[in-house]
């Protein structure tokens, strides 16, 4: 069995994509189907060559095909080892493969053409290949088309690699979320809905604000949490449409409560906004129009931005400055999860910071976590920023946070995220004591 000259580096590169042993995905299935059609072949595969096996990410034209075979039986392994296009017009004439399970048995490969998938590290990961059940050649134009499709497969692999490094592995996403047309239909059909989690004044138990948390009310699967779809939306222009829907519903809720609830003070709403939305020119103007259309003030709304969004020195910062000029609050979300910098706190027009649940969850058992919480609360006070704590689940956590100087808290100790229909009843109930 031939090996690539930099085999160990090649295998390490392959593993870095996190693609092995994942489910079939539409992008790779489509590439295999198009490859077969472009080459007038009955079958095509996207293969990845691991240390001892050949693993198939996509298979077209073969029913009941196995997901992996021994590398010693792999024609694609030779294409990877040589790092070049490999064409075999009659596989039976190649002694190395005559007894291969895929040649001697089903499906009975007789002709093969494969193009290596060259990744970002300039190392071959596998192939996009087509096969036939008869002896045949492949034209120059067919091989050119196959090479072009192989480059598109590599593009998808690179996107996956980036997503994996950012914790946005498509294996963790709902399959429907990988289909942009399905996502658009879901937005247009109103399948995405807001749930609202109270942000509580921990001294009184009263609700200070409501954070809008989007959910997918899937017609077959029920209510789906954002971890299973939000990353997919962030990779598309559809995030703008969803963001407008979330903002509109949140502001409608405030206007509705103001006119029907009889509350002396209606809580503001907090809406999470992605860098994709903030990076679009005119976002702040859209927010101003939405507020004005409902007779609301900027102070009725807080925009929450995640600390992982690159904010400094970009159009995003300008949008935030304009939002603050309207009186809209700006909160740095997930503070303490690892990416925030002093520059973000000092240079951005923030009005608040939210301590991440990763700190809050261990504050009663970790001296370091408590020290970070205390110092962050003091920093917020010195800078005139409002601070709140996310993910509070126990009375011990609440009491320690209050003792450390925290006023606002959010978490299942106070309330789970509630459907919009339940908000008014929640707000008009008698305020609980501590």
Strand partners, 210: 198, 269
What does the alpha-carbon distance between residue 389 and residue 344 come to, in Å, rounded to a whole number?
19
Q: Which residues contact 83 (CB under 8 A, 6 or more apart)?
A: 4, 116, 118, 124
What does the alpha-carbon distance between residue 81 and residue 64 come to, in Å, rounded to a whole number?
28
Catalytic residue among 188, 289, 390, 431: 390
What does the alpha-carbon distance between residue 345 and residue 387 come to, in Å, rounded to a whole number?
12
CA 200 to chain centre: 29
Q: Which residues contact 191 (CB under 8 A, 6 or more apart)?
A: 216, 217, 218, 219
Structural tokens at position 225 = 């949490």
* Residue 158 designated active-site: no
Cα(first)–Cα(last) distance of the chain, in Å? 71
Listed residue (121, 226, 232, 122) closest to 176, CA to CA: 232
What does the alpha-carbon distance between residue 89 and residue 136 come to, in Å, rounded to a whole number?
5
What does the alpha-carbon distance between residue 22 and residue 329 come to, in Å, rounded to a whole number?
42
What does the alpha-carbon distance between residue 324 and residue 219 come to, in Å, rounded to a whole number?
39
Listed residue (128, 125, 95, 123) closest to 112, CA to CA: 128
What does the alpha-carbon distance between residue 70 and residue 321 come to, in Å, rounded to a whole number?
59
User: Residues with catalytic annotation?
Assistant: 390
């Amino acid at each position: 069995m031939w090996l690539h000259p930099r085999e160990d580096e090649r295998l390490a590169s392959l593993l870095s994509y996190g693609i092995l042993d994942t489910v079939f995905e539409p992008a790779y299935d489509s590439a295999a189907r198009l490859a077969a059609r472009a080459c007038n072949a009955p079958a095509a595969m996207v293969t990845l060559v691991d240390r001892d096996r050949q693993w198939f990410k996509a298979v077209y034209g073969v029913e009941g095909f196995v997901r992996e075979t021994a590398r010693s039986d792999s024609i694609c392994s030779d294409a990877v080892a040589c790092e070049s296009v490999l064409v075999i017009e009659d596989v039976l004439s190649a002694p190395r493969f005559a007894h291969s399970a895929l040649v001697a048995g089903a499906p009975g490969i007789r002709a093969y053409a494969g193009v290596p998938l060259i990744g970002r590290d300039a190392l071959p990961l596998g192939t996009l290949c087509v096969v036939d059940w008869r002896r045949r050649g492949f034209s120059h134009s067919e091989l050119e088309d196959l090479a072009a499709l192989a480059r598109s497969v590599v593009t998808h692999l690179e996107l996956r690699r980036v997503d994996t490094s950012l914790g946005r592995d498509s294996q963790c996403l709902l399959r429907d979320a990988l289909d942009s047309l399905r996502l658009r239909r879901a937005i247009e059909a109103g399948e995405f809905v807001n749930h609202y989690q109270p942000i509580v004044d921990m001294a009184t138990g009263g609700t200070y604000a409501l954070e809008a948390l989007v959910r997918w009310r899937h017609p077959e699967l029920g209510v789906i949490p954002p971890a299973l779809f939000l990353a997919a939306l962030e990779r598309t222009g559809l995030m703008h449409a969803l963001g407008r829907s979330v903002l509109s519903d949140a502001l409608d809720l405030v206007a509705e409560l103001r006119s029907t609830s009889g509350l002396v003070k209606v809580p503001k709403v907090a809406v999470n906004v992605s860098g994709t939305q903030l990076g679009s020119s005119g976002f702040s103007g859209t927010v101003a129009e939405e507020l004005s259309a409902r007779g609301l003030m900027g102070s009725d709304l807080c925009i929450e931005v995640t600390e992982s969004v690159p904010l400094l020195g970009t159009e995003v910062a300008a949008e935030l400055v304009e939002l603050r000029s309207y009186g809209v609050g700006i909160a740095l979300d997930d503070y303490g999860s690892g990416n925030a910098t002093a520059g973000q706190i000092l240079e951005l027009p923030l009005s608040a910071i939210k301590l991440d649940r990763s700190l809050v969850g261990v504050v009663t058992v970790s001296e370091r976590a408590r020290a970070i919480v205390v110092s962050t609360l003091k920093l917020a006070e010195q800078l005139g920023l409002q601070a709140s704590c996310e993910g509070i689940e126990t009375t011990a956590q609440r009491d320690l946070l209050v003792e450390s100087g925290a006023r606002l808290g959010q978490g299942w100790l106070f309330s789970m995220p509630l459907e919009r229909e339940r908000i008014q009843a929640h707000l008009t109930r008698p305020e609980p004591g501590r």
